Amino acid sequence: MKKILVMFTMMMVAMVTFAKDIKTVVFTTTPQMHCAACENKIKSNLRFERGIKSIETSVPDQTVTVQYNADKTTPEKLQKGFEKFGYKARILKDGEKVEKNTGEKCDLM
What's the half-sphere exposure (Cβ side, CA atoms, 13 Å) at 21? Answer: 5
- C-beta of residue 72 within 8 angstroms of C-beta of residue 31: no
- pLDDT tens digits, one per residue of 48-96: 999 999 999 999 999 999 999 999 999 999 999 999 999 999 999 999 9
- pLDDT tens digits, one per residue of 16-28: 445 679 999 999 9
Q: What pairing do the DSSP bridges indicate for beta strands 88-91 and 63-69? A: unpaired
pTM, full prediction: 0.80
